Amino acid sequence: MKIDSLESLRQWREKLPPVESKKLTLYACAGTSCLSSDSDLLIERLRERIKAEPLEAEVELVRTGCVRFCGLGPVLLLEPEGVAYGKVTLKDVDEIVDEHLKRGNIVERLLYEDPEAGLVKSTQEMGFYKKQKRIALKNCGRIDPWRIEHYIKQDGYEALGIALSEMTSQEVVEIIKQSGLRGRGGGGFPTGRKWEFTLQESSDEKYIICNADEGDPGAFMDRSIIEGDPHTLIEAMAIGAYATGANQGYIYIRAEYATSIEPLRAALDDAREHGFLGKDLFGSGFDFDIEIKLGAGAFVCGEETALIHSMEGQRGEPTTKPPFPSQRGFRGKPSTVNNVETFANIPQILLNGPEWFASVGTEGSKGTKVFALAGNVKNIGLVEVPMGITFNEIVYEIGGGPSGKEPVKAVQIGGPSGGVITKEHFDTPIDYDSLDAIGAMMGSGGLIVMDETSDMVEIAKFYLDFTQDESCGKCTPCRVGTKRMYEILDRLTEMEGVPEDLQRLRMLGENIQLASLCGLGQSAPNPVLSTLDAFPDEYMAYAYRTKRTAYAIDADLCIGCTKCKRVCPVDCIEGEVRETHIIDEAACTACGACYSVCPKDAIIRP
User: Which positions lie near other proteins, rule CB under 8 A?
Assistant: 255-256, 293-298, 310-317, 472, 567, 569-570, 587, 589, 591-593
> Smallest distance from the beta carbon of 37 to other proteins, in angstroms?
13
CA distance 269 to 237: 15
Residue 317 CB, shortest distance to other proteins, in Å, is 8
The torsion angles phi and psi of 440, rounded to 5 degrees, stand at -115, -175
Residue 293: CB minimum distance to other proteins, A: 8
Nearer to other proteins, 193 or 405 (CB): 405
Minimum CB distance to other proteins, residue 297 (Å): 4
Contact (Cβ atoms closer than 8 angstroms) between residue 166 and residue 7: no
Q: Is 348 strand, coil or helix?
A: helix
- The nearer residue to other proteins, 507 or 591, going by C-beta atoms, is 591
Residue with smaller CB distance to other proteins, 46 or 518: 518
3 state DSSP class of 591? coil
Closest CB 532 distance from other proteins, rounded Å: 24
**596 φ/ψ angles, rounded to the nearest 5 degrees:** -80, -20
Least distance to other proteins, CB of residue 319, Å: 15
CB of 295 to other proteins, least distance (A): 7
In the bound state with other proteins, the residue whose beta carbon lies nearer, of 239 and 594, is 594
Q: How far is the CB of 363 from other proteins (least distance, A)?
A: 42
Q: 261 or 456, CB closer to other proteins?
A: 261
User: How far is the CA of 451 from the CAs of 49, 280, 422, 601, in angstroms?
Assistant: 44, 56, 11, 16
Closest to other proteins by CB, 286 or 462: 462
104 vs 473 by CB, closer to other proteins: 473
Instruction: Please tell me the distance from the alpha carbon of residue 107 to that of residue 88, in angstroms, as a whole number.
Output: 11
Name the minimum Å distance from CB 205 to other proteins.
13
Angle at 350 between CA 345 and CA 353, to 5 degrees: 105
Question: Hey, is 292 helix, strand or coil?
Answer: strand
- Least spacing, CB of residue 292 vs other proteins, in Å: 10
When the beta carbons of 293 and 547 are compared against other proteins, the nearer one is 293
How would you write 101-161 as a 3-class SS string? HHHCCCCHHHEEEECCCEEECCHHHCHHHHCCCCCCCCCCCCCCCCCHHHHHHCCCCHHHH
| Three-class secondary structure assignment of 225-277 | HHHHCHHHHHHHHHHHHHHHCCCEEEEEECHHHHHHHHHHHHHHHHHHHCCCC
Report yes or no: 141 and 68 within 8 Å, Cβ to Cβ.
yes
Q: How far is the CB of 66 from other proteins (least distance, A)?
A: 21
Determine the 3-state secondary structure of 181 from DSSP: coil
CA 235 – CA 237 distance, rounded (Å): 5
| Least CB distance to other proteins at residue 592 (A) | 8
Could you please report the per-residue DSSP string of 542-559? HHTT----S-EE-TTT--
Nearer to other proteins, 500 or 584 (CB): 584
∠ CA 28-32-33, nearest 5°, is: 80
Judged by beta carbon, residue 346 or residue 472, the one nearer other proteins is: 472
Q: Which residues pair with 411 in a beta bridge?
A: 421, 449
Give the torsion sign (CA, 528, 529, 530, 531).
positive
Strands 24-29 and 59-64: parallel
Looking at the Cβ atoms of 15 and 405, the one nearer to other proteins is 405
Residue closer to other proteins by CB (options 111, 552) is 552
Rounded CA gap, 604 and 63, in Å?
Answer: 47
DSSP for 486-540, please give it.
HHHHHHHHTT---THHHHHHHHHHHHHHHH-SSHHHHHTTHHHHHHHHH-HHHHH
